[in-house]
C-alpha cells in the first residue's frame, strides 16, 4: 500500500500534474472512473455479471485500478489513511445494521 502511494506521488511529480489535483478535481476524476466501471455492467443480467468473459474482466480490472489510483491520490492529498477509514466505516455499519435485525434483508437499504 505504501509502495503504490509512493509510485503515484512520483508519477504525478515527474509530470508536474499536482497543479490539477485539487481534492475537488480528484473526486470528480474518481466518479468518472466509477462510471466507466459501471458501464461494463449496465446491460448485463445479474448472472452475466457473475460470469464475465476474459475481455470484459480485463477491462473491469483496469477500471478498478483507475478507481483505486484516484482514491489513493485523493486520500493522500487529504492526509487520510483509506484503509483505516474503511475499517472505521465498517465498524460504524456493524452498529447500524445489527445482525439480528439486518440478516437477509434488502430492506435495510430500501423500502421496496
> Is residue 9 within the footprint of its own copies (CB under 8 A)?
no
Q: Which x/- pattern over 26-55 shows residues binding its own copies (rule: CB under 8 A)? A: -xxxxxx-xxxxxxxxxxxxx-xxx-xx-x
Chain residues 67-96 in contact with its own copies, contact rule CB under 8 A: 67-69, 71-72, 74-75, 77-78, 80, 82-83, 85-90, 92-94
* 6 near its own copies (CB under 8 A): no
CB of residue 17 to its own copies, shortest distance in Å: 8
| Cβ partners under 8 Å of residue 34, min gap 6 | 67
Nearest to 30 by CA among 78, 64, 80: 64
| Cα–Cα–Cα angle for 43, 41, 51, rounded to 5 degrees | 100
Amino acid at each position: 500500500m505504501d509502495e503504490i502511494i509512493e509510485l503515484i506521488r512520483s508519477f504525478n511529480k515527474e509530470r508536474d500534474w499536482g497543479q490539477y489535483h485539487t481534492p475537488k478535481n480528484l473526486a470528480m476524476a474518481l466518479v468518472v472512473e466509477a462510471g466507466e466501471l459501471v458501464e461494463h455492467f449496465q446491460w448485463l443480467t445479474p448472472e452475466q455479471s457473475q460470469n464475465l468473459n476474459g475481455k470484459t474482466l480485463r477491462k473491469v480490472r483496469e477500471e478498478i485500478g483507475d478507481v483505486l489510483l484516484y482514491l489513493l491520490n485523493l486520500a493522500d492529498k487529504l492526509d487520510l489513511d483509506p484503509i483505516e477509514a474503511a475499517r472505521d466505516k465498517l465498524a460504524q455499519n456493524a452498529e447500524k445494521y445489527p445482525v439480528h435485525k439486518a440478516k437477509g434483508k434488502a430492506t435495510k437499504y430500501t423500502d421496496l
